[in-house]
Amino acid sequence: MTDRTLLLFIFFLVVFTTLKGQEKVDLVVFGDSSKVGSVKQVVLTGTIVQADSKTPLGGASIFLDGLKYGNNSDYYGRYLIELPPGTYRLTVRYLGNIPIHKKISIFKNGVLHFEMVEKPKVLEEVIISARTSDENIKEISPGLVQLGIKEIKRIPALMGEVDVVKSLLLLPGITTVGEGSGGFNVRGGATDQNLVLMDNGQIFNSAHALGLFSNFNPDVTEEFTLYKGNIPAQYGGRASSVLNVRTRDGDFSKFHVKGGIGFLSGRAAVEGPIVKDKTSFLVGGRVSYSDWILKTVKNLDVQNSSASFYDFNANVTHRFSSGGNISLRYYQGHDYFRYSNQFGYDYTTQLLSLRWNALLGNNWGSTFTAAQGKYTSKLFDLDVTSAREFSNGVSYTQLKQNFLHTYKEVHALNLGVEANLYNSLPEKSQPYGSNSTTTAQQLKKSDGREFALYANEEYTVNSIFSFSAGLRYSYFQSLANDTVYLYQPGLSRSISTIIDTLHYSRGQVTQTYGGFEPRFSVRIGTGKNAAFKLAYNRNRQYIHLVSNTTAPTPTDIWQLSNSYFKPQIADNFSVGFFQNFKENKFEFSAEVFYKALTNIVDYKNSAQIILNRHLETDVLQGKGKYYGLELYVKKNTGYWRGWASYTFSRAFNQINGATAEDKVNNGNWYPSNYDKPHNFSLTASHYLGRHMTFAANLTYTTGRPITAIESYYYGNEISIPVYSERNKYRIPDYWRVDISVTVNSVFKKIDDNLVFSVYNFFGRRNAYSIYYQEIYGQQTLQAYKLSVLGSALPSITYNINF
Amino acid sequence: MNRVFQIAIFITLFLLNQQCRDAYQFDTVAEDGLLVVDGEINDLPGPYLLSLGLTNNANVRPDPLTGAFVAITDHLGNTENYVEIGGGKYQLQGYVVSGVAGGSYTLKITLPNGHYYESTKETIPTSPKLKDSTYFVVVNEATTSSEGETVNNWRVNVFLNTTFESAAPGYYRWSVEEYYSLFPTCPPGAISCPPICYIHQPISYYNLKVIDRKSFSGSYLKGIKLEGRDVDYSFATRHYFNVYQHSMNPGAYNYWSKVQQLVSKRGSIFDAPPYTISGNIHNPNNPNEIVLGYFEASGSKVTRLFIDRGYIHTFVQTCFMYLPDYIPNTYFCWDCTQIEGSSIVEPDWFWH
């Protein structure tokens, strides 16, 4: 074959395939070209949804081929393009889905809906994210983390359980007190400074098994977003961050069953249509069965311990033909933990939420959310004669109406109103068992109402400059449930300084707080794939987790602001530079943050938290300053993928009250419990072949501050330790390596996989805390390093989807 | 696939059996020289003891503080000086000031360097004393060792039953000390045997039990475990457990309940952050100075309970036993006065 013949063959091949491809492009006609007249612009609108689930696809792109002109769909999956009358070729793209090509002849305004189909699962599409590859550059706000559940499934997981919170801990600026502690800390903030939302309803305790897992079932979770830099005005009520977790709609066209089974827990989910293409359901649950592992441990107390949890999600969604939808979602999670015959916990979270999305014309959308949540916890003290059961909790009703106005891709205005009605459940102590001689006690708590009005505008001036500006006004009412004590001015609050007691009828307003919360962020493009961003936020927090321990416990008390608990106010500043390289193959970011807080909560020595009728005598409020630098590098494509993050940060508190008792460390700045200067993590995955993936994590953090024994003295022959100033020392540094191997398609014709993982691969005994214990006959206490997970934890999890 | 599962389960079980705690050495730097005061006046006949010391980062026990001038003043305005008896200990004879229920007492201390300290006014409570009965149980008990492993030991556990004879409010504390005799080794043919020792020791440096009467609804408490003691040579003859009941005023209750909280809850991962407990002694000229310890005025009573080898169904090693093939190699079997808390003076109640 000569070169000319070869070229001719290639030419015809190209022409043939092009023509063949052209044949596949459907032609849709709007109007008549002869009746165009003087019309210069027409509008094409419609929705872009997932074909199977009918889930609206926000952020899908719709472009006119050859013109480099188009738009992205909004949160409701809607799009709008203005264009001159004519004939065009449209391409709709959404990551992980097969692109749709349409040829249109449009001579009047038209509506065109698209249903996108997921690409078959070939290797390169294992990661499916709702984000475009340069979203980190285009996004106005710094400090935004958005991940799909499929993305975090590649991270090696503890005991094979894919976990939202554990994946967040691999990102810069996010830490935890240690394994076995619930919650997470964002940029030095306390755990209660994070607003955790599941389908827009608040979750007060996001931990299962004392924090080893979170209560977001991966089979039910769609995606989650963490706002740690700029929090849009639509969200409020917490000082540091917002974690918004969205669960999935059920499939609108086909039935599916998913499941997984591991050493510690099993899970299953069923979904499908109730009315095809109109109404769907999704039911999922997890249950643990870990007691058999506890029985294998040598320690007698551990053998006699018990731990279990379950959670359950049920979602029903109905799509209206007008384009809106309504969904009703229910979540219940329960944990039980008993340590030998000494103590135990039992806590339950319930959340019922309703969401109604409606389209109001071409540019307006409405989302109404109603949620009813309840968190209850019990502590069992199993000491024979003083055995008791202590219970407390909080319930709330939340109503929120949000209106969204969008225009093309340049403007998005959120307007809304929100109300949270909190009801503190009484603290109760009751005898536990027939041998207990303790007396029953009950303490009523104050309730509260929090209201907010907000407006948030995101505006893209041009490809270089865009901004987000929001204003939220929040207002809080503290509602009496019993009595308010008055104290002698100028003296530390204590029982002995009470000068009067005011009695209120239930529901009477005793105190109000309120104020504006400006939110602002700016993006300045500094090149094709680079942007400089800065943000300022003010947040007010009216509900506080009263916890006199380093790690949050299930029985910690949620305390609403009242006459003595002032709202925590945070001013968050952040500046960041973001750059992508090699067609978004690599992402890089560097962010600096500074956070100034007032009215942070700390405690007097020996603070009594439980059943304290005058909690204000044991609680102190002061200032906090947290600052740091976050570096992040990510590789998005290729056989090797992953990211590395490093954070240098400091977190200091100052409690400097008027009297010596109202100071901590003589009123000097001291490291907060969450002060971990260095935090490094590396996550990488590698494709080992068509059916196999290898992944590994490396995590390093500086040990957290601790108060240690410095010497002893004797009182009545009791050896009494003398402790250092608060948080003067540190526990040893923490590092851990996890690995996993995922084998896909274990059985032919079944969508399944087998995950082998080893958490803490090197079996490092990382310190969770340092504690002291008596050694028989010795006059000093021996310090011990407690490791919650002191060995390598291998696991095998089998997942199936059909 | 089955083989893979088997291996994985084996590895899991193997690794999980590793312990999750390790001894840890802190490099702490402490401030030396904090004044420590430890004393009590009660409604028992005197004398009453007081200890003064200065904290020493290198030693467990504070350094004895000698040469101080210590006095006590009661609610009637009477003042009596303490007499230094050595080793940082001072004794109040009770000739002028003695402990009575309802009486109030203030301690005043002047150190050799001129620094002056005084206590808050402490009152011996008038709350009724409780009717205590104590008993012991000898068990072969599985316990968790300091290494985290399960071990079996013969132990003598001491329990308390107590009765509230009225609903009157009150705060109570129990502490236990042991008293035992030791017959030293006396080889056959020795001209004279070493004297018998009476050894008085705290059992634990960390056990105490504190209660607030109003926390309990019934008229009695049963089965409160006060102490546990491994069986050893000290049970060869009479081994006493002296259980002291202290009725306290609210200030002392507050102090000792904090001590109980601090020294008894150290293993949970959810313990509250620890701190140094402030006592009731202060320096009027320097209110920020940290003074450790407590001067307590309490009502006291003691209940004695003894056990000997006859109650223990296991071999008890003794020093007294001298057999050709058995030579006690423990130093104190030859000279029991070397044991801390040892005396050759027999308590008048010991053999009665």
Q: Cβ A660–B215 below 8 Å, yes or no?
A: no
Our CA-based measurement puts residue A716 at a distance from the nearest CA of chain B, in whole angstroms, of 7
Ordered strands of the A221-227 beta sheet = A144-148, A221-227, A241-247, A194-198, A201-202
Residue B201 phi, psi dihedral angles, 5° rounding:
-145, 150
Residue A205 phi, psi dihedral angles, 5° rounding:
-140, 110
User: Strand, helix or coil at A238?
Assistant: coil
Q: How many CB atoms lie within 10 A of CB B223?
A: 12
Our CA-based measurement puts residue A205 at a distance from the nearest CA of chain B, in whole angstroms, of 16
Chain B interface, best mutation among A606, A611, A793, by max B CB count within 10 A: A606
Cα A625 from Cα B343, distance rounded (Å): 60
Residue B19 with chain A: CB contacts under 8 Å: 298-299, 790
Nearest chain B residue to A718, by CA:
B205
| pLDDT at residue B331 in the model | 63
Q: Cβ A435–B259 below 8 Å, yes or no?
A: no
Q: What is the CATH number of domain A135-801?
A: 2.40.170.20
Q: Closest CB to B144: pick one of A299, A717, A786.
A: A299
Q: Cβ A715–B293 below 8 Å, yes or no?
A: yes
User: Strand, helix or coil at B336?
Assistant: helix
- With contact defined as beta carbons under 8 Å apart, do A180 and A210 qualify? yes
Q: Any idea where the domains of chain A sit in the sequence? A: 22-116, 135-801
Q: Rg (Cα) of chain A, in Å, rounded?
A: 29
Task: Specify the length of chain A in residues.
Answer: 802
Task: Give the Å distances, CA to CA, from A689 to A175, A639, A693.
Answer: 34, 9, 7
A27 shares contact with chain B (CB less than 8 Å): no
Cα A154 from Cα A535, distance rounded (Å): 31
Our CA-based measurement puts residue B35 at a distance from the nearest CA of chain A, in whole angstroms, of 10
- Identity of the amino acid at B352: H
Q: Cβ A786–B20 below 8 Å, yes or no?
A: yes
Residue B223 phi, psi dihedral angles, 5° rounding:
70, 35
Q: In chain B, which residues fall in CATH 2.60.40?
A: 35-123
| pLDDT at residue B325 in the model | 57
Q: Closest CB to B146: pick one of A297, A771, A775.
A: A775
For residue A169, which of A154, A155, A149, A159 has the smallest C-alpha distance?
Answer: A155
Residue A778 with chain B: CB contacts under 8 Å: 205
- Identity of the amino acid at A705: P
Q: Cβ B205–A765 below 8 Å, yes or no?
A: no
**Is residue A126's pLDDT more than 80?**
no
DSSP class of residue B171 equals E
Q: Closest CB to B292: pick one of A551, A722, A768.
A: A722
| pLDDT at residue A144 in the model | 78
| pLDDT at residue A21 in the model | 39
Residue B259 phi, psi dihedral angles, 5° rounding:
-60, -45
Q: Cβ B23–A785 below 8 Å, yes or no?
A: yes
Of these ranges, A44-58, A109-123, A594-608, B191-205, the one predicted with the greatest mean pLDDT is A594-608
Of chain B, the percentage scoring pLDDT greater than 70 comes to 85
Our CA-based measurement puts residue A715 at a distance from the nearest CA of chain B, in whole angstroms, of 5
Task: Give the Å distances, CA to CA, from A357 to A49, A196, A507, A545, B26.
Answer: 14, 21, 33, 33, 58
| pLDDT at residue A129 in the model | 40
Interfacial A residues in 322-361 facing B (CB < 8 Å) = 339, 343
Instruction: For A407-420, write each residue's pLDDT tens digit.
Output: 877 889 999 999 99
Cα A455 from Cα A473, distance rounded (Å): 9
A242 or A136: which leads in pLDDT: A242
Task: Specify the length of chain B in residues.
Answer: 352
| pLDDT at residue A583 in the model | 81
Of these ranges, A110-124, A715-729, B281-295, the one predicted with the greatest mean pLDDT is B281-295
Q: Cβ B217–A437 below 8 Å, yes or no?
A: yes
Cα A171 from Cα A81, distance rounded (Å): 37
Residue B217 with chain A: CB contacts under 8 Å: 431, 437-439
ipTM confidence: 0.82
For residue A789, which of B20, B23, B148 has the smallest C-alpha distance?
Answer: B20
| pLDDT at residue B12 in the model | 44
| pLDDT at residue A293 in the model | 75
Q: Verify cis geometry, omega within 30 degrees of 0, for the bond prior to B47.
A: yes
Give the burial class of A153: count Cβ atoms within 10 A of its Cβ; 0-12 exposed, 13-18 middle, 19 or more buried.
Answer: buried
Structural fold of domain B35-123: Immunoglobulin-like (2.60.40)
Helix (H) or strand (E) run with residue A744 in it: strand A734-744
Residue A733 phi, psi dihedral angles, 5° rounding:
-65, 160
| pLDDT one digit per residue (tens) for chain B, 352 residues | 344 444 444 444 444 444 466 778 777 777 768 899 999 998 888 789 999 999 887 667 788 999 999 999 999 999 999 999 988 999 999 888 888 989 999 999 999 999 999 999 999 998 888 888 899 998 887 766 656 566 778 889 999 998 887 778 889 999 888 999 888 777 777 777 788 889 888 777 777 888 888 877 778 888 888 888 888 888 888 899 999 899 999 999 999 988 888 876 554 555 667 888 889 999 999 888 889 999 999 988 889 999 988 888 777 777 755 555 555 556 667 778 888 888 888 888 888 7
Q: Cβ A549–B275 below 8 Å, yes or no?
A: no
Our CA-based measurement puts residue A537 at a distance from the nearest CA of chain B, in whole angstroms, of 32
Q: Considering the domain A22-116, what is its CATH architecture? A: Sandwich (2.60)
**Is residue A383's pLDDT more than 90?**
no
Mean pLDDT of A218-232: 88
Partner residues linked to A72 by β-bridges: A61
pLDDT tier, A345 (very low <50, low <70, confident <90, very high otherwise): confident
| pLDDT at residue A18 in the model | 38
| pLDDT at residue A100 in the model | 86
| pLDDT at residue B271 in the model | 64
Mean pLDDT of A344-361: 91
- With contact defined as beta carbons under 8 Å apart, do B273 and A548 qualify? yes
| pLDDT at residue B328 in the model | 52
Q: Mean pLDDT lowest for which of A319-333, A461-475, A517-531, B18-32? A: B18-32
pLDDT tier, A7 (very low <50, low <70, confident <90, very high otherwise): very low
Residue B176 with chain A: CB contacts under 8 Å: none
| pLDDT at residue A467 in the model | 93
